[in-house]
Chain A
Amino acid sequence: MINPTLRAFIKKELRQTLRDVRMRVLLFGAPVIQMTVFGLALSTEIKNIKLAVFARPDDAVAERLTERFYASGWFKPVLFSPTDDPYELIDSGRADAVLIAPRDGLGRAAVRGDGRMQLLIDASNATKGRIVEAYAKNIVAAFIAREYGPAPPRPFSFDVRVLYNPAMESSLFLVPGVMSMVICLITIILTAMSLTREREMGTFETIVSAPLSDSEILLGKTLPFILMGLVVAALVMTAAWLIFGVPVRGPLWEFGAASFFFVVTTVSVGTSISSIARTQQQSMLGGFMFLFPAILMSGIMYPVENMPPAVIAVAYLDPLMYFMRLLRNIMLKGGDLHVFLVNMAALALMAAAAAGLAYNRFRQTLN
């Protein structure tokens, strides 16, 4: 039987949060909309890359390769004349990439084992440039396998393999990251604002003067948000599956456990923020001051390994990083137990530390 004080708080918080239609939309609609928008907007996938291919008109191999490029859906043809300067095509922006086949034909060069082609890429946007390069390598690798078979010797020196996300769909990679971001945002802001609102309105004094223990008040004010956070987690996972087709290859209990420890951590962070903030605006600001660095250092957008050592050291204190890794592991890789346990242990430690900090800060506020 649940403690009546906790039941009172859970009922009150759920009533207050869910009564308002706008709040219901914010709580359950916004995460799905945010995830969809972020998932699409943050997509690193690039389509309609303008590609010009320079090859002899009688080079059948180059022609088939060109067809493969255009059939991939990532590249589209460019109108140009064989006398055009390839560099000028890129300079003028008429093409994003130019593929130049060997002068005597790709087929002949391949027979000699010298199938070197030149690929000019507009890398004024470095990220885009790298992606175009990766796409081209993939297409060429697939083409070689089809034309010459998988066994060596190979006429081309490409060897690219893409695991877990063979189509390199960025949504598969990004959606788990966006999910962790959305859950983090909702739980931190809701908790911090609810506690500050209570203090701002003066109702906090009423609760504090009631004969309740510190831990009863703290649990009463945080448990409803842990529950709401778990509901939001389940909701965004379902949306990720339905909207983006992101699979859940690992067991659901791993997802549940990871979400629980993550939500405990974020709700505790929200509680700690509310112990410093005096107004709801300050709470909101405090929430975002935690969120922005947490998102940037989590590896959702940029690989943590690429960061300077000092930043990597801080990133290891970022709960979002562990949760995001857990989600990618569970959803994309099938929830490898070793990866799960390592990240889970870190997240559980973080949850315990954050809850301890929140409890201390909360007691100081009460006293």
Chain B
Amino acid sequence: MFAISTESLRKSFGRVKALDSVSFDFSAGLLHGLIGSDGAGKTTTLRLLAGLLRPSAGRIRYFRDGAPSAFEAMRPSLAYMPQQASLYPDLSVAEHLEFFRELYRLDAATFRKRSSELLEITRLGKFSDRRAAQLSGGMYKKLGLMCALLQSPSVLLLDEPTNGVDPISRREFWELLYGLAAEKILVVVSTAYMDEAERCARVHLLDSGRLLASGEPRAVLKAAGARSFEEIFIRSAA
């Protein structure tokens, strides 16, 4: 099982402080939610964790079964799904799976098993010839998730996967994430939807690059004396 923690993590882009001395603790096998409005620093955090950015200060520590691990050693077990369209509009569902299969160097038997499992749980099997550009918002996000899951990662970083997706597809997507957390995969998902915070095992509330609170959703609400997560953000802004 993998875990990640950060110590006084800072990231600046020129004069803009995207993250200001933030310490996270993403404990193993749980579904973590990075909650915050636009510009809070969610994407920067995920990109730092995925090794796509280097911290301006502070450090990120990775753990495997409780022992410290180098990033390079855990990179093959890490999957990242960017917020933007991360798929090729002119390739079909099947062609995406084939491309990522070769990218992740999966053997034929593992690929067959894994892709049929994924097509079944995402219910995209009957759309395998459809091009990504012709998929609905929800199906598109599911295909993105499927490509990320193809390599059976132990750490899954998802940047606003439910953004712009209809409520029914959102619920289905979260059910998929619960299933992953049940398999002891460390899932870190960012969202700007406050109602999704309660679906997570741990929440980390980010505002303008600062960490407002971290912990179990109910405990965070209780400690803040707030009835909802919106209230915490509104108070912080005031």
Contacts of B90 in A (CB 8 A): 15-16, 19-20
Interface stretch, picked from B97-105, B122-130, B168-176, is: B97-105
CB atoms of A12 and B76 under 8 A apart? no
Mask: chain B, 69-110; 1 = CB below 8 Å from A; 0 = not: 000000110111111111111110001001111111100000
Instruction: Knowing A206-B82, A208-B52 are in contact, say whether A12-B104 is a contact too (CB < 8 A).
Output: no
Residues of A within 8 A of B (CB): 4-5, 7-8, 11-12, 15-16, 19-20, 201-203, 205-212, 367
Instruction: Knowing A15-B95, A205-B52, A211-B76 are in contact, say whether A8-B102 is a contact too (CB < 8 A).
Output: yes
CB atoms of B82 and A5 under 8 A apart? no
- Cβ of B165 within 8 Å of any chain A Cβ, yes or no, is no
- Cβ of B4 within 8 Å of any chain A Cβ, yes or no, is no
CB atoms of B76 and A209 under 8 A apart? no
| A4-B106 Cα distance, complex, nearest whole Å | 10
Contacts of A209 in B (CB 8 A): 50-52, 78-80, 82
Contacts of B89 in A (CB 8 A): 201
Query: How far, in Å, is B111 (CB) from chain A's closest CB?
Result: 11
CB atoms of A5 and B105 under 8 A apart? yes
Residues of B within 8 A of A (CB): 47, 50-52, 54, 75-76, 78-91, 95, 98-105, 147
| A206-B85 Cα distance, complex, nearest whole Å | 10
A-B contacts, CB under 8 A, total: 70
CB atoms of B82 and A212 under 8 A apart? no
Chain B, Cβ-Cβ closest to A12: B99
Interface residue from B52, B88, B105 paired with A12 (Cβ < 8 Å):
B88
| A282-B178 Cα distance, complex, nearest whole Å | 43
Chain A interface SS verdict (over half): helix
Interface residue from A4, A7, A205 paired with B80 (Cβ < 8 Å):
A205
CB atoms of A11 and B99 under 8 A apart? yes
CB atoms of A202 and B82 under 8 A apart? yes
| A201-B87 Cα distance, complex, nearest whole Å | 8
Chain B, Cβ-Cβ closest to A4: B102
Interface residue from B78, B79, B83, B102 paired with A7 (Cβ < 8 Å):
B102
Chain A, Cβ-Cβ closest to B84: A202
Residue among A207, A210, A367 facing the most chain B CB atoms (10 A cut-off): A210
Query: How far, in Å, is A18 (CB) from chain B's closest CB?
Result: 11
Contacts of A201 in B (CB 8 A): 84-85, 88-89
16 inter-chain pairs at a CB distance below 8 angstroms, sorted by A residue, are: A4-B103, A5-B105, A8-B99, A12-B88, A15-B95, A20-B90, A201-B85, A201-B89, A202-B82, A202-B84, A205-B86, A206-B87, A206-B147, A208-B52, A209-B50, A212-B103
Query: How far, in Å, is B83 (CB) from chain A's closest CB?
Result: 8
Residue among B47, B51, B99 facing the most chain A CB atoms (10 A cut-off): B99
Contacts of B86 in A (CB 8 A): 202-203, 205-206
Query: How far, in Å, is A23 (CB) from chain B's closest CB?
Result: 10
Chain B, Cβ-Cβ closest to A19: B90
Contacts of B85 in A (CB 8 A): 201-203
Contacts of A203 in B (CB 8 A): 85-88
CB atoms of B91 and A4 under 8 A apart? no
CB atoms of B103 and A210 under 8 A apart? yes
| A5-B76 Cα distance, complex, nearest whole Å | 14
Interface residue from A5, A20, A367 paired with B103 (Cβ < 8 Å):
A5
Contacts of A202 in B (CB 8 A): 82-86
Contacts of A19 in B (CB 8 A): 90
Contacts of B50 in A (CB 8 A): 209
CB atoms of B103 and A207 under 8 A apart? yes
CB atoms of A4 and B105 under 8 A apart? yes
Query: How far, in Å, is B144 (CB) from chain A's closest CB?
Result: 8
Chain A, Cβ-Cβ closest to B51: A209
Interface residue from B84, B88, B100 paired with A205 (Cβ < 8 Å):
B84
Contacts of B47 in A (CB 8 A): 205
CB atoms of B99 and A205 under 8 A apart? no
Contacts of B79 in A (CB 8 A): 209
Query: How far, in Å, is B104 (CB) from chain A's closest CB?
Result: 7
Query: How far, in Å, is B175 (CB) from chain A's closest CB?
Result: 24
Chain B, Cβ-Cβ closest to A10: B102
Query: How far, in Å, is A16 (CB) from chain B's closest CB?
Result: 5
Contacts of B84 in A (CB 8 A): 201-202, 205
